Chains A and B, each alone.
Chain A
């Protein structure tokens, strides 16, 4: 067991876990979108889980740091919050905000983070950059709504974990990046009907059952 201090409170956790996991286990919420407990190498791509750790000269993503005895972590400094709000605004600026008609309403991770950061779902500094609405219908059992997707990559991870080879993957690049089911129709017909792990893990209902 390792003891560390988070926001002036001492918490105890197992060895070899990430700072983010340790905090979440101890009911200290840190916003995050792309992290899963099972990941060996968290991608650290959502840029939301920043914390300040004594000894580091700048905030660092808590999903990429393992806990150490006596670590002093602060999750709610001004610097951290500013980074999180900026990252969140970027995500929101390409997200089609239409909560009323969204199946994820009330259980959406973006809503939760917005509430936590006191941000609201309106942009402050950035302009809304609507991605073209594309609903991919190729899949026999699922739909993918691209302008809801936050590209966290959890669906790709869980699919790979569960089915050996991922049947979905990132495609294209930059603002056009999407999740694609390319070329897996045959396998999907048998496997996906019983799985739906990607749909369940999706934090924003970008992947939904047909």
Chain B
């Protein structure tokens, strides 16, 4: 598993390196470059940031400073299941931040991060357009309305059971 991730990362970096050459070498190119990388590869890895710094002849920490300032950039690859917790006005009033905290605690990651096994990532969103269901969370493409802290564990457990079952079925089909 670790191996494929490494190969993937390497491919990503060579791809970035080839596109970097099309950008001008001024500080002004920094944000367009970061946006390009994020669009193509969904996140900015530490190595990618180093590469950008080298290309623009800036220090890596400065690139990192700019990238972390903006909410649009993420620094972890999205998980297999993307959890989006709504913190729009209605959801906030109904305790959306508590829901977020529950997800964070349950998965032991912070908002914007991905679990080490790349199964789950948590993001915050600002209104998904169904405020009557507040507080709302979206996992993959399913909307879960009227969220409660007690539901968080159940949802995660559901995904874990699903994963177990898939694994078992795969094993079964292999042995057959």
Residues of A within 8 A of B (CB): 165-173, 180-184
Q: Which residue of B lies closest to A160 (CB)?
A: B59
B61 and A166 contact, CB distance less than 8 A: yes
Q: Does B50 contact A (CB under 8 A)?
A: yes
Q: Which residue of B lies closest to A170 (CB)?
A: B65
B59 and A166 contact, CB distance less than 8 A: yes
Number of A-B contacts (CB under 8 A): 48
Separation of A98 and B94 alpha carbons in the complex (Å) = 37
- Going nearest first, the 8 A-B pairs with the smallest beta carbon separation are A183-B60, A182-B64, A169-B65, A165-B59, A169-B61, A182-B61, A171-B68, A172-B68
Separation of A165 and B65 alpha carbons in the complex (Å) = 14
Interface size on B, residues (CB 8 A): 14
Separation of A181 and B64 alpha carbons in the complex (Å) = 9
Contacts of B61 in A (CB 8 A): 166-169, 171, 180-184
* Beta-carbon contacts under 8 Å, B35-80 to A: 46, 49-50, 53, 58-65, 68-69
B64 and A171 contact, CB distance less than 8 A: yes
Contacts of A181 in B (CB 8 A): 61
Separation of A91 and B50 alpha carbons in the complex (Å) = 33
B62 and A169 contact, CB distance less than 8 A: yes
A169 and B64 contact, CB distance less than 8 A: yes
Contacts of B60 in A (CB 8 A): 182-184
Question: Least Cβ distance of A189 to chain B in Å?
Answer: 14
Question: Least Cβ distance of B118 to chain A in Å?
Answer: 22
Q: Which residue of B lies closest to A182 (CB)?
A: B64
Interface string of B137-155 (1 = CB under 8 A from A): 0000000000000000000
Given that A172-B69, A173-B69 are known contacts, is A180 also in contact with B64, CB under 8 Å in the complex? yes
Question: Least Cβ distance of B165 to chain A in Å?
Answer: 38
Contacts of B63 in A (CB 8 A): 183
Contacts of B68 in A (CB 8 A): 171-173, 180
Contacts of A171 in B (CB 8 A): 61, 64-65, 68-69
Separation of A168 and B59 alpha carbons in the complex (Å) = 9
